[in-house]
Amino acid sequence: MNNSDNLQDNSETDYSKNYSVKVTTRRLVAGAAAGLVLFAFGALIHQSGVWDKMYSAMGGKDDSLASRNNAEDGKARQAMLAARAAQKKDPSAPAPLPPVGHDGYFEPPSEAEIPKGALGEAIKRGRNIFVDTPKYASQYVGNSMACAQCHLDAGRRENSAPMWAAYVQYPKFRSKNNKINTLEERIQGCFTYSMNAQASAAGKAPALGDEVYKDLMTYMYWLADGAPTGENMRGGGYIKVKATEQGYDWKRGQAVYAQNCALCHGADGQGQKDANGKLRFPPLWGPEAYNWGAGMARIDTAAGFIKANMPLGKPYSLTDQEAWDVAAFIDSHERPKDPRQSGTIEEARQKFHADEKSYYGKEVDGQIRGVGVSRGNSATAVASATVR
């Protein structure tokens, strides 16, 4: 989770630079020559209803694209599919372009586009695991988190480390473990830290080769349909919030939290369940949250996520200063221990947390953080973490 390379690789500037320059060039060349033809063709098949038939033959519903946020959304994807169909008939037809929407972000397929058959079934299983991990991969989840709580819109939302951008980045070198990581290994890391697998029934993340990964990766492959391999895509990863003059301060963050976050995540940070006991708002600290080894436990990573995604429905409403401070506040609380800690906290701090912005192994209100809380000792631990 918390690797320094991600921070560099995934900064927004990197993504926008690499991606938009290439796309723009490609568009100028291919677009000028073929854009009109393509557009006319797209409009034609759209009007003729051929599109709708093609679409439902693929397992889609006619109104699927209308369910997107914006009337413009989905058009780039339609154009890509149309170009694919055209090229099938005539190999010299213009190559399909990656589906990039009016906002400059990649357009993954919508739910209604999940194909029929064995592949579609695997995609759905992967989607279910992603959205409701405690239900569909229960033996490997040691907290109350689901993948989609940090990778929003079921892994679609830009700047919440969307799966379409991740899929085309692997295999990749990570300084966190100093080796080439496959996508499967990367997901395993998320189980270990974000899902706190140490406290799960299995006691650890699924072994490499497990069906859980197969289904998740099939889902991600499908979400990335049309994404260029190896490209640093705009909106991939989390954004990087610029350092502020005042730095970060959890005490200032407490007020930001009370005003902007407590309504949903609770004054005690434990989230909220609905009448059926299903979690509606996820916990931010304590035994049911991500552990000390997770990327989100780093203040800079959390600040990037929060700035672009929280409060839910009001992205970018916090100032940079508020994002830093509230990230510091939530990450100043106890949570499950870092599973890599075998000796003392100080040893683990030096080995795994030395260069990072986190409270691991540091004092907050006179107490060293990183001790960890587990479900068994939650009552006291949460209370002491909350009362200041």
List interacting residues with ligand HEC (CB under 6 A).
1, 6, 10, 130, 133, 145, 147, 149-152, 161, 165-166, 169, 186-187, 190-191, 194-195, 216, 236-238, 260-261, 263-265, 281-284, 289-290, 294-296, 301-302, 305-306, 310-313, 318, 326, 330
Q: Residue 55 or 257: which CB sits closer to ligand HEC? A: 257
Q: Residue 60 or 283: which CB sits closer to ligand HEC? A: 283
In whole angstroms, the minimum distance from the beta carbon of 7 to ligand HEC comes to 6
Q: Residue 133 or 341: which CB sits closer to ligand HEC? A: 133
Q: Residue 295 or 361: which CB sits closer to ligand HEC? A: 295
With helix as H, strand as E and coil as C, how does the chain read? Answer: CCCHHHHHHCCHHHHHHHHHHHHHHHHHHHHHHHHHHHHHHHHHHHHHCHHHHHHHHCCCCCCCHHHCCCCCCCHHHHHHHHHHHHHHHCCCCCCCCCCECCCCCECCCCHHHCCCHHHHHHHHHHHHHHHCHHHHCHHHCCCCCCHHHCCHHHHCCCCCCCHHHHHCCCCEEECCCCEEECHHHHHHHHHHHCCCHHHCCCCCCCCCCCHHHHHHHHHHHHHCCCCCCCCCCCCCCCCCCCCCCCCCCHHHHHHHHHHHCHHHHCCCCCCEECCCCCEEECCCCCCCCCCCCCHHHCHHHHHHHHHHHCCCCCCCCCCHHHHHHHHHHHCCCCCCCCCCCCCCHHHHHHHHCCCCCCCCCCEECCEECCCCCCHHHHHHHHHHHHCC
Q: Residue 127 or 151: which CB sits closer to ligand HEC? A: 151
In whole angstroms, the minimum distance from the beta carbon of 140 to ligand HEC comes to 8
What is the C-alpha to C-alpha distance for residues 128 and 126, in angstroms, rounded to an integer?
Answer: 5
Q: Residue 105 or 305: which CB sits closer to ligand HEC? A: 305
Find the Cα–Cα–Cα–Cα dihedral 74, 77, 78, 83, rounded to 10°. Answer: 160
Q: Residue 75 or 333: which CB sits closer to ligand HEC? A: 333
Q: Are 299 and 327 in contact (CB under 8 A)?
A: yes
In whole angstroms, the minimum distance from the beta carbon of 29 to ligand HEC comes to 29
Q: Residue 264 or 371: which CB sits closer to ligand HEC? A: 264
In whole angstroms, the minimum distance from the beta carbon of 66 to ligand HEC comes to 22
In whole angstroms, the minimum distance from the beta carbon of 269 to ligand HEC comes to 9
In whole angstroms, the minimum distance from the beta carbon of 95 to ligand HEC comes to 26
In whole angstroms, the minimum distance from the beta carbon of 68 to ligand HEC comes to 17
In whole angstroms, the minimum distance from the beta carbon of 285 to ligand HEC comes to 8
